[in-house]
Amino acid sequence: MRIGFGEDTHRLEPGRALWLGGVHIPSERGARAHSDGDVLLHALCDALLSACALGDIGVLFPDTDARWKDLQSRVILEAVLERVARAGYRVSQLSGVVTLDRPKLSPHRATIQARLAELLSLPEERVGLTFKTSEGLAPDHVQARCMALLEAL
Ligand SMILES: Nc1ccn([C@@H]2O[C@H](COP(=O)(O)O)[C@@H](O)[C@H]2O)c(=O)n1
Ligand SMILES: C[C@@]1(CO)OP(=O)(O)OP(=O)(O)OC[C@H]1O
């Protein structure tokens, strides 16, 4: 059994789409990023890589490489899951926290949970999601933290 923790933060800016956990969230602002800026998938990927001591997504997908411009983060997750499987593990449980002042995410909880469960081939009851505001302290950023439990194949 292995455990991993990951974190990602991006600045919010107008005219960008907001993606969280592979789901498009209607919003006036989205993450400024080289990829689609899905902080929840990025934090998840880093948690999985960390659990297997395989580095981080910046090593696998450098943001200086034009090939990864506007990359959908689910492609990053697929590549990470392949590496995790090669290391002899599969995902058993995930616990994620997203900090964002606006928009409200609660109405999207079930959709994000279902999408993550699908991407990870997990039952939805093994995908826990917490949403927090920054209480106005960081209104221009979106942040995700994620813990993942892995079990041996
Ligand atoms: N973008 C967000 C942030 C939070 N929520 C929900 O609001 C509740 C209270 O959050 P606090 O940061 O004030 O503790 C909590 O139930 C969150 O699920 C949300 O829906 N969207
Ligand atoms: C995903 C990558 C690559 O497109 O770029 P960003 O979308 O900027 O995201 P970040 O969380 O900074 O992580 C690693 C990058 O290499």
Q: Using a 6 Å cutoff on CB, does residue 24 contact ligand 2? A: no
Query: Please, what is the Cα angle at 20 between 22 and 12, to 5 degrees?
Result: 135
Which ligand 2 atom sits nearest the alpha carbon of residue 39?
11
pTM of this structure: 0.96
Which ligand 1 atom sits nearest the alpha carbon of residue 102?
1
Residues with CB under 6 A from ligand 1: 100, 104-106, 131-133
Domain 2-152 sits in CATH at 3.30.1330.50
Helix (H) or strand (E) holding 51: helix 39-51
Q: Say what the pLDDT of residue 122 is.
A: 98
**Helix 73-86 vs helix 39-51: angle between axes, to the nearest 10 degrees?**
10
Which ligand has an atom closest to residue 66 CA?
A: 2
* Residue ranges of the chain with per-residue pLDDT less than 70: none
Each domain of the chain, given as residue ranges in start order, spans: 2-152
Which ligand 1 atom sits nearest the alpha carbon of residue 107?
20
Q: What is the DSSP letter of 52?
A: T
Chain centroid offset of residue 150 CA: 16
In this structure, are residues 3 and 47 in contact, taking their beta carbons and an 8 Å threshold?
A: no
Q: Say what the pLDDT of residue 21 is.
A: 98
